[in-house]
Structure 1
Amino acid sequence: MTTVQAKEGQRSLPQTIRDQLRDEILRGVLAPGAQLRQESLAERFGASRIPVREALRQLEAEGLVSYQLNRGAVVIAMSTGEICELLDIRAALETYAARLAVPNMAAADINAMKRILAAYDAAGSPAEWAECNRQFHLALCAPANNARLRKMIEAYCLSTTNRYPHLRMSLDTEKTEVQDDHYAIVEACKRRDVNEVVALIERHILDTKREVMAAARHAGRET
């Protein structure tokens, strides 16, 4: 049994458990449909069921876990069609957020995005890329100053759609293409070019949609 200790002043025990489980979901260690039994997780992490229950609740809010009758908490499985629908919604929400955000951006906002992209460049695993991607898109919409919109982007779309493309992103060339998009978006933000930022975000997200659809077609042919 491994006891997980939260770092004092940094993360609570539920957050530590949540982060570990999120990482395993993003890396595919916990596959879609896998059951997350509270008693087993409590024993694994050397904790009571209370922090485990809170960690699972947070993962449910992120769209990574759902509760099913007679099964309890399970890792969410989504079809290609469902992922693509969410990507369409995400494109609409993020481009709207950009129209609100870009005029409000200050140097601190640009610098925050640059720091996230630097961490993205240094990251070495799909799970790390997914987390950096999430942070970047949330930082991009933060200056919109619309908490409900940000919550919709994060909880309803971003956390759910984020993991599937990144599970397939194992090649440096693919990582580079995504980062090129991100850097182009930041440069357009620096120029306060709202229309360019909107166009870049829409293309960026819809390119992901095309990659998801292509991966599904090729997987079908292989099977």
Structure 2
Amino acid sequence: MTPILQHRTLSAAILDQLRKAILDGTYPAGTQLRQDALAATFKVSRIPIREALFQLDAEGLVRFVPQKGAIVSELSADEINDVFELRCLLEPRLLARSIPNLGRDDFTQFGTFHTQMVAATATQDLSRWGQLNADFHMALYGHAGQPRTLSIVHSLLQSSDRYTRVQLSDATGSGMDGMQRAMSEHTELIDLCRSGAIEKACAFLRQHIASVHEDLLRAIERGSREETP
């Protein structure tokens, strides 16, 4: 392995671990991520740590604050609106271009995702469910032929995962309902894609994303009320 490739692989591995730690709550909102401490933890120089933090900043999971460095971003309605409004714009566009190119293997893969999500729901494995949900959406758009837009959507889905976990872990019990509704909507979306109903599929996808958006705003609002003395 060349030094450049080895460095990139190391940086990507650190990025994945830090992202997972933020998403699963190991590093909650407001946590300061000190580069020297992380470098010591991972037994690396500060260079791959800095690169990973810059990528997390681009994904909206951390923000850089003067005199403090990288801080895990707060959950906010403004961020949710930004992420989900962009998703509503970009994902239907990708889906419209991808549907004509979907084949038998793609629909087999969609079915596999559904089976795995059913299993994750049964065990309430939020981490696994969130990753499968993102992978399913990315697979839907895989034949769009727009790699730059797909890269942007991939980043948006990673940001969405953090908020979706808030919704799915909702103590009111609506989280389980949200999982089951999402899988039911995925099934309907797959059927529309299989039939080649591009306009209906895109409209349904937009509605699907908007529904999650509204649920998340309600979950954030409930959390704010519960925290208010």
TM-score, reference length from structure 2:
0.82
Q: Which amino acid aligns with 1:176?
A: Q
* Kept after mapping to 2: 8 A contact 1:126/1:167: no
* Kept after mapping to 1: 8 A contact 2:134/2:158: yes
Query: What does residue 103 of structure 1 align with?
Result: 100
Alignment size in residue pairs: 213
**Structure 2 residue 166 is the aligned partner of structure 1 residue 162:** no
Q: How does 1:17-56 map to 2 (within 5 A)?
A: 17-56=14-53
Q: For 1:145, what is the secondary structure of its paired residue? A: coil
Identity percentage of aligned residues = 32
Structure 2 unmatched runs, 5+: 1-7, 170-174
Q: Which amino acid aligns with 2:164?
A: P
Query: What does residue 219 of structure 2 align with?
Result: 215
* Kept after mapping to 2: 8 A contact 1:26/1:130: no
Change (3 A) 1:91 1:43: same
Question: How far has the Cα of 1:34 moved from its partner?
Answer: 1.6
Question: How far has the Cα of 1:78 moved from its partner?
Answer: 4.2
Which of 193, 200, 213 is the matching residue for 1:189?
193
CA distance in 2, matches of 1:25, 1:75: 7
Question: How far has the Cα of 1:161 moved from its partner?
Answer: 2.5
Which of 109, 112, 120 is the matching residue for 2:109?
112
TM-score, reference length from structure 1:
0.83
Change (3 A) 1:81 1:49: closer
CA distance in 2, matches of 1:12, 1:187: 38
Question: How far has the Cα of 1:91 moved from its partner?
Answer: 0.8
* Kept after mapping to 1: 8 A contact 2:113/2:132: yes
Structure 1 unmatched runs, 5+: 1-10
Q: For 1:74, what is the secondary structure of its paired residue? A: strand
**Structure 2 residue 61 is the aligned partner of structure 1 residue 68:** no
Question: How far has the Cα of 1:140 moved from its partner?
Answer: 1.3
